[in-house]
Structure 1
Amino acid sequence: MKAFIVGLGQIGMGYDFKEDYHVSCLTHLNAILAHDGYELVGGFDVSLERRNMFESKSKVKCFADLFEGLTKTSPDFVIISTPTETHFEILKTILKLKTVKAILCEKPVSYDDEEATHMVDLCQKNNVKLFVNYQRFYLPSSDVIKKKLFPSNSEIEFLKGVCWYSKGLIHNGSHFINLLESWLGNLESIESIVAHNYWSEEDTEPDALFSFKKGNVFFISSRESDFTHYSIELVTSEGKLSYKNGGDEIYWQSKVSDPIFPGYTILSKNMEPIESNSLKSQYFVLDKISKFIGNDNSIAVCEAFSTLNMIRILRKLKVEK
């Protein structure tokens, strides 16, 4: 697919600009350069410095005018990696181009559920697939974790968890809501316990009980100004998942018979590691989208329509805070 990147900030290009794309794919630029299924045809950014950086690494033209760039390159696949409040207008510009088959948008698609719904509807009317870049969802480790949590030969009778997050519930906490939805089913409700605004007045950071279809998880906010802290701990009737440092370290502990006290069950001291592959996160996003578009229906992807319920609930929580 002919790919075009809109927005060349940290996730677009910055995080691993100096790294070899064969080693690190933390950004859209490196991921496209590394993946054989995509041909980079152009980029757009308002910053001259970033445009020059993009061209120096990719040897591909970067444009100061978005519509000009799109019409001159005729991409099939466009990535939107700009601030959330710009997504809607950029999407409308992209949809003027009839060659586009799919769009990957940074999370969240919108802060507003009505606007997000409108974006989904516009893409459907134009026969364009709209995906969301919740990158942890696409990692192979997420599929392994789901099988650990819900093994086919066991009935899960109990599941409860804790998630630590920072830098806003919508901005960053939504990463973990999306991930938990992929494991535990749809988010059904949120019960706020204590409201905070450590990071921004525009994004609430509550300590709250999140009820998913298959279990409850307490979300607790920490202060991004102190340090970044993202982790999930899930306890089930079959064992315990430890998802540390945003998913860079993942362990599973199964339940075993207590070797000292007969009749008791404990967690195994053996912490089984699950490979995260987080250094190539954006590569796996592109890889799954490529296979999905190629009609592999067994591939799980995050399409924008599947996030509308989450956006609606989070917006309601923000209004009521």
Structure 2
Amino acid sequence: MSKKIKFIIIGSGNIATTYLSAITNITNAQVVGIVSSKTNKPETLSSLPFFKSLSDINIDFDAVIICTPNGLHHVSAIEAASLGKHVLCEKPIDITLKSIDKMINSCKENNVKLAVAYQRRYSSDNPIVKKLIDENKLGKIFSVDLSIKNYRDDDYYNSSAYRGTYNIDGGGPFIQQASHYIDLYYWYFGKPVKLVSQLGTFVHDIEVEDHGAAICVHDNGMIATITASTATKPGFPAKMELYTSKGYLILENDVITHWDIEGVENPTTVKSTKNTHTGAATASVSDTTNHETVLNNFIEAINNNAELLVTGESARNATEIILDIYKNQF
């Protein structure tokens, strides 16, 4: 029988509540405390012990779930690793390659697991498309258009001082809302060998972009576009269009909605997307299925040394692509 893993959640925002809900559906997992600097406990977490820092914790625990702002992920990961605790980190893994490498090295040196919650890789039809790409069933892919056109109102950016900043958020929608899909893009196609971008701030009073686009070129000649936004009202489901020598397919919110690939039947497993979370207009998540997948895998890795779905090294690639988008503007 697998050991029940005791978790400390670091951070007390919306995503912490998501993990707490997910863990209630997992028999061999338990949240035993919260680390938060907030003076007022969120009602959804108020039944748990609160601690100001990891060093203040006086109860037994096995692992942490990092739900702090992007640019602080490495701080908690390195401290947890030094205490011999396993680390599950929210996306993106962090906002600089230097910080990410410190996280990865610290977890290796202390022989603890480091997993990252890029659960879109295992959502709905996404893993099916990955398998078809790897098996070369789709033909030569020459064009990809990835669009993450969300909307966030001023209240979202005003809700915390770090939102819409470079030093903590790391940027705007590319590193925040689009991070999941840029990871998916990397998982499918690898990193581009060349890219150029244009970013702007059009709707919000923030220091980072709220809309932008990149053109990417891959070593096999594939040309792709990536658009990310929090300025596009009212917000739209993320969409990825693939055009190949055998036809085309379109994924919307991880589900195949259009399919015409010569010689291959539409493999979609989803009959309805009526109740799926798109993230288009809100960051709140009610369906925790994908988070449960990540957590179950993480627990299996701790207990039985199973292969992690998304390692720190793999998650690093998404941040590298995003940083290249920020760096290579016209």
Q: Do the structures match in fold with TM over 0.5? A: yes
Name the TM-score, length of structure 1 as normaliser: 0.76
Q: Which has the larger displacement, 123-132 or 198-207?
A: 198-207
Is residue 162 of structure 1 aligned with residue 133 of structure 2? no
- Name which of 187, 191, 201 aligns with 2:191: 187
Match of 1:34 in 2: 25
Question: The residue matched to 1:47 in structure 2 has which SS?
Answer: coil
Q: Distance in 1 between matches of 2:235 and 2:107?
A: 35
Shift of 1:129: 1.7
Aligned 8 A contact 1:3 1:75 in 2:
yes
> One-letter code of the match for 1:207?
A
Measured at CA, do residues 85 and 273 of structure 1 come closer, stay the same or move farther in structure 2, by a change above 3 Å?
same
User: Would you say the 8 A contact 1:239–1:252 is kept in 2?
Assistant: no
Q: Does the residue aligned with 1:283 lie in a helix, a strand or coil?
A: helix
Greater relative contact order (CA < 8 Å, ≥ 6 in sequence): 2
Q: Say if 1:160 and 1:216, in contact at 8 Å, map to a contact too.
A: yes
Q: What RMSD, in angstroms, separates the aligned Cα atoms of the two structures?
A: 2.9
Tell me the CA shift for residue 6 of structure 1. 0.8
Q: Counterparts of 2:60 and 2:209 in 1: how far apart (Å)?
A: 36
Cα distance per residue 1:193-243 (max 9 Å; x no partner): 433234653358532122456643211234436233321111223443322
Tell me if the contact between 2:35 and 2:54 (Cα under 8 Å) persists in the aligned partners.
Answer: yes
Asked whether 1:171 is paired with 2:176, we answer yes
Q: CA deviation at 1:116?
A: 1.2
In the alignment, is the contact (CA less than 8 A) between 2:118 and 2:183 conserved in 1? yes
Q: Report if aligned partners of 1:51, 1:62 keep a CA contact under 8 Å in 2.
A: no
1:88 maps to: 74
Q: Does 1:224 align with 2:231?
A: yes
Higher mean displacement: 303-312 or 279-288: 303-312
Cα 1:291/1:175, change in 2 over 3 Å: same
Correspondence for 1:210: 216
Give deviations 1:170-200, integer Å, cap 9, x for gaps. 222221111122222x213342243323465
- Structure 2: gaps spanning 5 or more residues: 150-171, 278-286
Whether the 8 Å contact between 1:5 and 1:42 is mirrored in structure 2 is yes
Residue ranges of structure 1 left out of the alignment (5+ in a row): 14-26, 258-267
Q: 2:20 aligns to what SS in structure 1? A: helix
The verdict on how the C-alpha distance between 1:288 and 1:236 changes in structure 2, with shifts beyond 3 A counting, is farther
* TM-score computed with the length of structure 2 as normaliser: 0.74
Percent identity between the two aligned chains:
22
Letter in 2 for 1:161: V
Q: Offset at 1:271? A: 6.5
In 1, the alpha carbon distance for the partners of 2:232 and 2:39 equals 30
Conserved 8 A contact 1:2-1:77: yes
CA displacement at 1:320 relative to structure 2: 4.3
- Once residues 241 and 286 of structure 1 are traced to their aligned partners in structure 2, the CA distance between those partners, rounded to angstroms, is 30
State the match for 2:56 in structure 1: 68
Number of equivalent positions: 284
